[in-house]
Amino acid sequence: TSVIEVMFMLKLVDILDEKESVLHKVSTEVSFPLDKKYLDLIDDAYEYLRLSQDDKKCEELDLRPGMGLAFCQLGVLKRIFIISYKNEDGSFTEYTVINPKLISYSNELIYVEEGEGCLSVNREVDGIVPRHARITVGFYDINGNYKEERVREEISVAFQHEMDHLDGIMFTDRIDKDNPYKDMDKMRSI
């Protein structure tokens, strides 16, 4: 992929800043078959996330690394998000999640030690976000097939973060304003 192609493609994925009111609205369910514009946006978003996790490309193109994107972050209030998690061998584990529902979750709580981040939040944020260590989510794939997925650790945090986006909740909303590290000793860091 040439730099010009990448720059053109990045313009297709315009990630909204946290100040945008659309990020604080609840997204609506998607019906099937999926509109081509949604399929194209899914492809573009995956390309962005993969590039953002390549250290060289990230620096070259001045990207912020990310592993998840909800459609509302792209200005589309539909219940769709994607996760693209780079494995140690360089391959990606990817999920396209449509109309998700939380089925079950572990009692064990975890938090991201370095702090959670978001492609829509362009500032340092102090504090921890309590998340379930394991969750099971029911959702639909791009063809409208129902699936259930049990995810854990980083992927569980990513799913919960993106599902929050679909409900108009930012990770910053989950940090206790008066005590940003509240109950940290009752959770496990990842």
Q: Active-site residues: which are they?
A: 162
Q: DSSP characters for the chain?
A: --HHHHHHHHHHS-PPPTTSGGGGSPPBPP-SSPPHHHHHHHHHHHHHHHHHTSHHHHHHTTPPP-SEEEGGGGT--BSEEEEEEE-TTS-EEEEEEEEEEEEEE-S-EEE-TT----TT--S---S---EESEEEEEEE-TTS-EEEEEEEHHHHHHHHHHHHHHTT--GGGGS-SS-TTTTGGGSEE-
